[in-house]
């Protein structure tokens, strides 16, 4: 059995130490780290993975595409997959800014408190890198879905894109606008907005009269949903409804689940050379970690 | 016993993952990888190898100079060796683009099918990085040698250089020219031309009436010798002579031997701080792997 | 127990192989190496250390700031420490150009031959990166201290800075000037000047009539004190005083002690997340290695 080699492709000048340490803690033996990686520069690096180990040992090499620039990482991920041919390929995972693992963690966390298929879900900050993935994962899994952005135009573009890809109706609203009506019906509210922007104030939270779970994924204070603390982890939110109060999660409260998913996904890369882990595939791993044999959505 | 540390010096901006994975699979414990390495930049990196471990532990550090730019790597290799002094040195190996290990693999593969000292050998694409090394290794080992290039001038310059260095007569021809006459006498034909250029067409192959083995090292289709497949490995070539048909090797057919040589060479770096592995030293390792106690050439 | 991860932050374009190999030999399992590191660029790299491992496992990650540019490394070291907050921090060590470990090695070596508190000490080349640290460590530990630079102005600025920080009187002299008088009284003379500059000629050495130990830290010939050889290690210097001749150390003679200190300091990083090792903390480790339970100074 060959040792586990993970090639870390990062568009940032300095490859992420976060991604590296999680990889080591997931059982990777050797990390080959690369910064300033462009799609073109990734080709010979992928060839090195394809042409060094034969037969069963090929599965002991894998590729992780990460860093802080989501669009740049997505372009590298596409190029990596185009470079493979036939069975000459290795496992590859996309998780820039932890967007995929964070989105998967948010969805399975929500599913602990609400039956998704029977729930209306609202995603705030839905057009950012994490929000897009949360919305994409919820579309078709939640009973109904509203995506909200500060720009109605961007929200509508996203709703159209997701609706086409997932064959599911998606409503688009802007902050203000008809958001309050959506929130009044929502069992699941997930905020994934930009750092330092409060998307839902205390009055808005009070209006979430049917909420079962509110999740704020913004790791940099102030949080996006007023009243949620970064460390909240299933904390009961008083003052919304007394019979069945919702619970709140902050970024650190979701963090443990996210890290477990991240590590399990790295591990999965070495199971099969066919593994190509983007949002959907990483959510499947997350469901498995929740002890579900089937997708709850 | 100190752990095995290999310093990878690569002139390319992104250091090769190919070289890295082969090193790991050769038993290296820690890789210190450097890209964009110039001769000047290599000096402090070499000092770090020289001045950190004393006595017997010095042999647990070694240097690999690789990458895709052969001329740049050769300049770094020279600088590394100049930086050592007295016994304060570590093992160092040169193998940009796999040129040395590929050339050695081609020569020992040819020797499985022809007694080199009794053979006329022709090297096509002889003035490229791999071809130069194949020709240099065959000079004085093969009974006689013809080097061929698209440019007669370059072929003659190479022949003169090798003849002086190896004290062996080397004939230079250009494509077309008197190549056909050389091929008609050749027991060994090795093609190492640039990617995508066919150096010998089907009619030319038919003219190799005394050939015992034809080897094509070009890894990017089309191969340089028409009719040879990348995966050919001692495949009998019909239609040339029926009594004693020659065999053909493509780049993948030689690849297994090349990889064994590469790994054994890395291993050799940690045996003695005196190891300085260029083409000749790597061929010596290749002969040993063939089970020969003496150089067959 | 998580594996030991050391993040190597180096302002040089190519991160030091010296620092890397010493780290490996100190028991680090995985090195995450970064070159061209600025204070700003270090922030996300430090976040990766802070946010990947929780609880007791946080202590298995640490940071080393090194390279050849002492001022640049000091700026990175400051930024790293500012980036930590509360208990979310990891061990960090500063040792660019080996300045801290070399200075600590010089001080404990001197203390083997002279009772520091009863000794007058002279530091030559005191305003360079190593010299500043030697002087800072001796201030308050030696009975009295003279710092010497080619520029009296720089020597006086340094003396004022150290005197304020360490609450100890420090005398400043320039080469020539009243240096001879200081040397005539000195039990300890340490030279840490720039490469290739002789700071004390043979006549000057003869004037060190009360010297017990002379140490030259300049690794590049010519040494800074005429007559001392790089490999000198407690070599008796004849011709100064016959009753009680002083001993001499060259850079290689101090090197073994320096390497032990360097390795022990790396090891210390993984004991507590509170470790922040600059000159004083590294000297404390050096005293411990000398078998002293208390600071001899």
Express each pLDDT in A48-104 by its tens digit.
999 999 888 999 999 999 999 999 999 999 999 999 999 999 999 999 999 999 999
Is C233 in the same domain as C278?
Answer: no
What pLDDT is stored for residue B294 in this prediction?
A: 53
Contacts of B31 in chain A (CB under 8 A): 30, 32
Closest Cα in chain A, distance from residue B85 (Å): 31
A294 in any annotated domain: no
Q: Which residues contact B281 (CB under 8 A, 6 or more apart)?
A: B265, B275
For residues C112 and C44, state if they share a domain: no
CATH number of domain containing B76: 3.40.50.10280
Taking contacts as CB-CB distances below 8 angstroms, the residues of chain C near A16 are 44, 48
CB contact under 8 A, C30 and A24: yes
Task: For residues C73 and C166, state if they share a domain.
Answer: no
In a domain, C296, yes or no: no
Are the Cβ atoms of C14 and B44 closer than 8 angstroms? Answer: yes
C295: in domain? no
Output the pLDDT for position A194.
82
ipTM of the complex: 0.92
How large is the average pLDDT for residues A106-127? 97
Please name the residue of chain A whose CA is at the shortest distance from the CA of residue B29: A30
- Percentage, residues of chain B above pLDDT 70: 98
Q: Across residues B152-176, what is the average pLDDT?
A: 94
Q: Which of B28, B27, B91, B102 is nearest to B65 (CA)?
A: B91
For residue C297, the model assigns a pLDDT of: 47
pLDDT digits (tens, 9 = 90+) for A167-190: 999 999 998 778 999 999 999 999
Structure confidence at residue C294 (pLDDT)? 52
Residue B24 placed within a domain: yes
Q: How many residues does chain A have?
A: 297
Instruction: Name the residue in chain C with its Cα closest to that of B2.
Output: C25
C3, C37, C51 member nearest A24 (Cβ)? C3
DSSP annotation of A3: P
CA B117, B118, B122 angle in degrees (round to 5)? 85
The answer to whether the CB of A181 falls within 8 A of the CB of A215 is no
Residue A109: domain span: 102-254
Residue B295 lies in a domain: no
* Cβ contact B16–A41 (<8 Å): no
Give the confidence band of A297 by pLDDT, cuts at 50, 70, 90. very low
C57-99 pLDDT per residue, tens: 999 999 999 999 999 999 999 999 999 999 999 999 999 999 9
pLDDT of A233 = 97
CA angle C64–C66–C72, rounded 5-degree value = 120
Q: Are the C-beta atoms of residues A7 and B31 closer than 8 Å to each other?
A: no
Residue C294 lies in a domain: no
pLDDT tens digits, residue range B114-159?
999 999 999 999 999 999 999 999 999 999 999 999 999 999 999 9
Residues C66 and C108 in one domain: no
Strands, sheet with A276-277, edge to edge from the N-terminal-most edge strand: A30-34, A5-9, A61-65, A91-94, A276-277
| CATH code of the domain in which C150 resides | 3.40.50.720
The half-sphere exposure of B209 on its side-chain side, counting CA atoms within 13 A, is 6
Mean pLDDT, chain C, rounded, equals 94
Read off the pLDDT of each residue in C125-135 and give the average, rounded to a whole number.
Answer: 95
Strands (DSSP E) along chain A, which ranges?
5-9, 30-34, 61-65, 91-94, 120-124, 144-149, 171-174, 188-191, 213-216, 233-236, 247-249, 276-277
What are the CB-based long-range contacts (under 8 Å, 24+) for B171-176? B171/B144, B171/B145, B171/B146, B171/B147, B172/B146, B172/B147, B172/B148, B173/B146, B173/B147, B173/B148, B174/B148, B174/B149, B174/B150, B175/B124, B175/B148, B175/B149, B175/B150, B175/B199
In tens, the pLDDT along C162-211 reads 999 999 999 999 987 789 999 999 999 999 988 778 899 999 999 999 99
Check B48 against C24: CB less than 8 A apart. no
Q: Inter-chain contact A17–C45, Cβ cutoff 8 Å?
A: yes
B227 plus B216 within the same structural domain: yes
Peptide bond into C222 cis (omega under 30): yes
Interval A206-251: pLDDT, tens: 999 999 999 999 877 778 999 999 999 999 999 888 889 999 999 9
Q: What is the pLDDT of residue C292?
A: 66
- The answer for residues whose C-beta is within 8 angstroms of residue C175's C-beta and 6 or more apart is C124, C148, C149, C150, C199
Query: Is residue C148 scored above 90 in pLDDT?
Result: yes
For residues A200 and A230, state if they share a domain: yes
Instruction: Give the nearest partner residue to C52 out of A14, A21, A33, using CB atoms.
Output: A21
Strand C120-124 relative to strand C144-149: parallel, antiparallel, unpaired?
Answer: parallel
d(Cα A11, Cα A13) in Å, to the nearest integer? 7
The count of domains in chain B is 2
- Are C189 and C124 spatial neighbours (Cβ–Cβ below 8 Å)? yes
Same domain, B86 and B157: no
Residues in B whose CB is inside 8 Å of some CB of C read 2-3, 5, 7, 29-30, 32, 34, 36-37, 41, 44-49, 51-53, 61
What count of other Cβ atoms lies within 10 Å of the Cβ of residue C122? 30
Chain center to CA of B65: 14
Does one domain contain both C138 and C248? yes
Q: How many CB pairs under 8 A join A and B?
A: 49
Per-chain mean pLDDT for chain B = 94
My answer on whether B42 and B146 are in the same domain is no
Please give the model's pTM, rounded to 2 decimal places: 0.94
Helices (H), A37-116: 39-50, 70-83, 99-111
Whole-number pLDDT of residue A239: 87
Give the closest of B2, B36, B46 to C25, CB-based. Answer: B2
Residue B84 belongs to a domain: yes
Q: How far apart are CA A215 and CA A194, in angstroms?
A: 14
Residue A90 neighbours by CB under 8 Å, 6+ apart: A49, A50, A58, A59, A61, A62, A63, A84, A269, A273
Name the residue in chain B with its Cα closest to that of C16.
Answer: B45
Q: Which two tokens stand for residue C255?
A: 């090197």
- Confidence label for A106 from pLDDT (cuts 50, 70 and 90): very high
Q: Tell whether B16 and B54 lie within a shared domain.
A: yes
Tens of pLDDT, residues A273-294:
999 999 999 999 999 999 865 5
Same domain, B244 and B268: no
Is residue A198 within 8 Å of A179, Cβ to Cβ? no
C-alpha span between C207 and C180 (Å, rounded):
7
Beginning with the edge strand found earlier in the chain, give each strand of the sheet holding C276-277 in spatial order.
C30-34, C5-9, C61-65, C91-94, C276-277
Give the pairing type, strands A233-236 and C5-9: unpaired
Residue B297 lies in a domain: no
A135 shares its domain with A212: yes
Chains that touch A (3 or more CB pairs under 8 A): B, C
Binned at pLDDT 50, 70 and 90, residue B297 comes out as very low
- Closest-CA residue of C relative to A23 is C52
């Amino acid at each position: 059995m060959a040792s586990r080699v993970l090639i870390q492709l990062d568009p940032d000048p300095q490859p992420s130490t976060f991604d590296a340490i999680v990889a080591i803690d997931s059982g990777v033996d050797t990390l080959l780290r690369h910064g300033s990686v462009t799609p073109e520069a990734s080709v010979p690096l992928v060839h090195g993975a394809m042409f060094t180990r034969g037969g069963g040992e090929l599965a002991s090499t894998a590729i992780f595409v990460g860093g802080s620039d989501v669009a740049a990482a997505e372009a590298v991920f596409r190029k990596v997959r185009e470079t493979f041919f036939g069975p000459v390929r290795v496992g590859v995972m996309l998780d820039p800014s932890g967007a995929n693992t964070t989105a998967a963690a948010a969805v399975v966390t929500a599913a602990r408190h609400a039956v998704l298929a029977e729930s209306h879900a609202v995603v705030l900050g839905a057009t950012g890198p994490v929000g897009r993935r949360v919305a994409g994962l919820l579309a078709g899994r939640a009973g109904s879905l509203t995506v909200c952005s500060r720009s109605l135009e961007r929200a509508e573009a996203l709703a159209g894109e997701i609706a086409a890809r997932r064959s599911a109706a998606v409503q688009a609203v802007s902050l203000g606008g008809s958001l309050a009506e959506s929130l009044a019906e929502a069992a699941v509210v997930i905020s994934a907005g930009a750092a330092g922007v409060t998307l839902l104030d205390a009055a808005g939270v009070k209006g979430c009269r049917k909420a079962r779970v509110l999740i704020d994924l913004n790791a940099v204070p102030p949080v996006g949903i007023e009243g949620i603390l970064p460390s909240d982890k299933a904390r009961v939110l008083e003052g919304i409804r007394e019979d069945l109060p919702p619970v709140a999660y902050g970024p650190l409260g979701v963090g443990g689940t996210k890290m477990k998913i991240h590590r399990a996904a790295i591990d999965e890369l070495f199971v099969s050379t066919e593994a190509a882990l983007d949002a959907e595939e990483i959510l499947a791993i997350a469901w498995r970690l929740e002890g579900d044999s089937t997708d709850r959505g």
